[in-house]
Structure 1
Amino acid sequence: MSSSNIFVTRPSLPPLAEFVPYLERIWDSGILTNGGQMHRELETALAAHLRVPQISLFGNGTIALVAALKVLELEGEVITTPFSFVATTHALKWNGLEPAFADIDPVTLNIDPARIEERITERTSAILAVHCYGNPCDVDAIEAIARRHGLKVIYDAAHAFGVDCHCGSVLTHGDLSVLSFHATKVFSTLEGGAIVAPDAEMKGRIDRSKNFGIVSETEVESVGINGKMNEVQAAFGLLQLRRIDAAIAARARVAARYDAGLAGIAGIEPVPSSGQIRANHAYYPVRVRPSFPVDRDTLYEALKARGIFSRRYFYPLISDLPMYRDLPSADPAGLPAARAAGAEVLCLPIYPDLSEAEQDRVIEAITEVGR
């Protein structure tokens, strides 16, 4: 591909020379995994930065989500959103759980609490909600529903690193919150993820679950998995954490320029940052409304032809995929808001190193297509 291409995201990499001292520490220790010094340091640093009680690191966010569902010992059905990355629902299937799709709020694009209550049956054991684009779910309403019906609540917080809602860190809500530290995320450990837990007892259960269920050299207490984060990942995370505030500030500047540059284009409607007291600007999603001269897919292709690679997050809906579309809750008639969002939302390029000239190319291209 040409160097002039603009991608929807790009990993934020520090100077390689700054990573070398971390690698030297790993080489000196001779420890590459199994909860080494870098791993312990990153858990401590992240818990402090995110203002959460306990955090357990994983090799990737999907394994973290699979493990979170497993340690809660869920059965039957789990109510979730069709408007997310497929890993959200795949994690349920890996645990032998049946997803029940509830429609989303047409403004926030998060799962709609009123639609959750409609999906509850005697087989429902939990709610798996997603803070879509970092916009906090209606956590108070969701947790009130969970209390009334005796359900667990898990938040897929893959988009919500460092996000605050009305009462502080959004990561402190629910029984567990799960983060992704994939290379495309605001905070990255190359691959990686984490579970935020409310107390040390739950963290201990989670830690054992990601290490085969091992308690001691001779004792295995449960069926676990190998989900550990290695020392190189953790070291990269420690280096990235030093720069995270500057990276988020740079993302905020990009978002503000989009706000100004797109304001006069009829039919291009940014998805509002609903409920974020402190935002991370992980994505810049817009809705391509019928008043725009072409539909979302046509705009997507027109941008790609100009070397601008946006993403249709999230299309197709999870409920439309072959392994899920035959579920009763996947009936398109019951998911009108999700279907509308799936047809209209386009995420524009955003990352700390996106230059003003590159961003102007994106805005000019949308303007040109819309004439």
Structure 2
Amino acid sequence: MSTVSPLALFGGQPLFERPLTTGQLANRDPERFFELASASLERRRLTNQGPLVDELEQRLCELHGTRHCVAFANACFAIILALRNLARPNARKVILPSLTFRGLPHLIRWAGYEPQFCDVDPLTHTLAPGELARLIDADTAAVLAVENINGLCDIDALERLTLDAGIPLLVDAVYGIGGRYTDTLRDNRVGARGNASVFSLHATKLINGFEGGYLTTDDDELAAQLQRQRSFGFGDAAIPVELGMNAKLNELHAAMALSNLDHMHAIINDNKRRFACYQRHFQDLSWLSFADYSQSPGTYGLVLLKVGTHAPYSRDELIRILRAENALVRPYYSPPLHQLEPGSPALPVTESISRQYIQMPVGDLLVEADIERLAQLFKRLEQDAVLLGTPLESVPQ
């Protein structure tokens, strides 16, 4: 009789006592955060464009090589307001990849437009320029490109297409921070291309500000509009001069972001080390591989594990097994956005990618021993495949 304990899915104890998450959750310098936060409390200046937000915006301008950085309470507000200011009048569609964050169509609709989904490049998982060119027409209000963790956009091709058509290009660069484009016509830093780029300071992202976001641009008029609109549309005399909202970043979130910004490169190096651990411990599992990161921004903030067609378990079965073991993995952008919209045409590359990948645990709370135990679990599953068969469909969800 086997002495191996059963999988948690079948009543055993979970492999991990502490949940393994898929976010960065970096908190590298809490003493610096408390120092900055205490100074803010002493000044009684907690919001309304305080000195910490000013400092953060300036440092992010330097990081991305842009004239302006406008901080927001979160990246969602930045995208909504940017679209409202940039989109072509008398047009109603915003083109975006279907393989992306499922909240983006909501933001497009909040801005007053309709999403139109585009297929992606099979290597980078970003907007495919040829497919984008096919979709652009007189009803295209804007293009919302999205940088991916394993690949950056073909920014030169996207800029050529949108400039030729007179259409604004907004880049959701949440996973592109710190990256550089190749074979470009001008500044190759992510954040310095298109009409504007948006980044997140959410706790799960590379720069943790608890919450928050920011937009970078060289457009003086756009920056001035956004600075007013994030603060109720107030002009210099604190009188509304245009439609606005309360989308300001507060000083405590800026303090957290500043305390982690100094450690960004150290966080990236640790991500690289963890990714190398994944590659080393999983190298003997022939039915598993990792996404191609050759065109990535190099931050390795997500680890995308590819389940081969000859795998003894389906991708979704593996996710169920792992989550029961307290490894809180998730399917990578699955289902894709267009499949949630009735009547959307098929996007074959997107649909194929969305069936293949598991978003694995990452971040500061993950240690090499955790990665080794994950690999051992997969090796056990490989060994037990013949014995177990595929009984998972009979187990309650």
Structure-1-length-normalised TM-score? 0.93
1:204-243 map, 5 Å? 204-217=224-237, 219-243=239-263
State yes or no: 1:367 paired with 2:383.
no
- Counterpart CA distance in 2 for 1:151 and 1:9 is 34
Structure 1 position 212, deviation (Å):
1.6
AA matched with 1:362:
L
- Are 2:287 and 2:307, in contact at CA under 8 Å, matched by a contact in 1? yes
Q: Which residue of 2 aligns with 1:288?
A: 307
| 1:245 paired to 2:261 | no
The 1:17–1:144 alpha-carbon spacing in structure 2 relative to 1, beyond 3 Å, is closer
User: 1:125 is matched by which residue type in structure 2?
Assistant: A
Contact 1:64/1:178 (<8 A) preserved: yes
- Look up the match of 1:35: 49
Instruction: For residue 164 of structure 1, report the CA deviation from its aligned partner.
Output: 1.4
The whole-number CA distance in structure 1 between the counterparts of 2:312 and 2:150 is: 29
Report the counterpart of residue 80 of structure 2 in structure 1.
Answer: 66
Matches within 5 A, 1:124-143: 124-133=140-149, 135-143=151-159
- SS of equivalent to 1:164: coil
Residue 19 of structure 2 aligns with which residue?
A: 5
Q: Which runs of 5+ in 2 are unaligned?
A: 1-13, 384-397
Letter in 1 for 2:213: G
* Long gaps (5+) in structure 1: none
Tell me how far apart the structure 2 counterparts of residues 200 and 367 of structure 1 sit (CA, whole Å): 56
- How far 1:193 moved relative to its partner? 0.4
Q: What is the aligned-residue identity percentage?
A: 26
Indicate the RMSD between aligned Cα atoms, in angstroms: 1.8
What do the CA deviations read for 1:114-151 (whole angstroms, capped 9, x no partner)? 11111122211221111122521111111111122111
CA contact (8 A) 2:155 2:181 kept: no
Q: Partners in 1 of 2:119 and 2:197 — Cα distance? A: 21
Task: Give the whole-Å Cα distance in 2 for the aligned partners of 1:336 and 1:294.
Answer: 23
Aligned-partner residue type, residue 275 of structure 2:
A
Of residues 165, 175, 180, the one that matches 2:181 is 165
1:194 aligned counterpart, secondary structure? strand
1:96 to 112, 128, 144: 112
Mapped to 2, the partners of 1:280 and 1:204 lie a distance apart of: 31
Aligned mates of 2:130, 2:19 — CA distance in 1: 43
The answer to whether the Cα contact below 8 Å between 2:24 and 2:205 also exists between their aligned partners in 1 is no
1:343 to 355, 358, 367: 355
- Within the alignment, does 1:153 sit opposite 2:169 as a pair? yes
Provide the residue aligned with 1:316 in structure 2: 335
Q: CA deviation at 1:224?
A: 1.4
Letter in 2 for 1:354: L
CA contact (8 A) 1:266 1:291 kept: no
* 2:324 counterpart residue number: 305
How many residues were matched structurally? 363
> Are 2:307 and 2:315, in contact at CA under 8 Å, matched by a contact in 1?
yes
The alpha-carbon deviation at position 6 of structure 1 amounts to: 1.9
In structure 2, relative to structure 1, the CA distance for the partners of 1:52 and 1:256 (3 Å cut) is: farther
Q: Does the 8 Å CA contact 2:57/2:69 hold for their aligned counterparts?
A: yes
Give CA deviations for 1:140-176 in whole Å, capped at 9, x if unaligned. 1111111221111111111112111215312111111
AA aligned to 2:147 is H
Partner of 2:135: 119
Higher Cα radius of gyration: 2
C-alpha separation in 1, matches of 2:234 and 2:92: 27
Q: Deviations over 1:207-226 (max 9, x none)?
A: 11211221122543321121
C-alpha displacement at 1:320, in angstroms?
A: 2.4
> 1:70-85 counterparts in 2 under 5 A?
70-74=84-88, 75-85=91-101
Partner of 2:3: none
The CA distance in 1 between the partners of 2:355 and 2:238, in whole Å, is 54
Please give the per-residue CA displacement for 1:40-62, whole angstroms capped at 9, x wherever unaligned. Answer: 01111222233333211111111
Determine the C-alpha separation between the residues in 2 that align with 1:218 and 1:52.
Answer: 27
- Structure 2-normalised TM-score? 0.87
Native 8 Å contact 1:313 1:345 kept in 2: yes
- CA drift at 1:316: 1.8
Deviation by residue 1:66-111 (Cα, 9 ceiling, x = unmatched): 1111121444111111111122221111111111111111221111
Quote the offset at 1:274 in angstroms. 4.0
Partner Cα separation in structure 2 for residue 53 and residue 365 of structure 1: 49
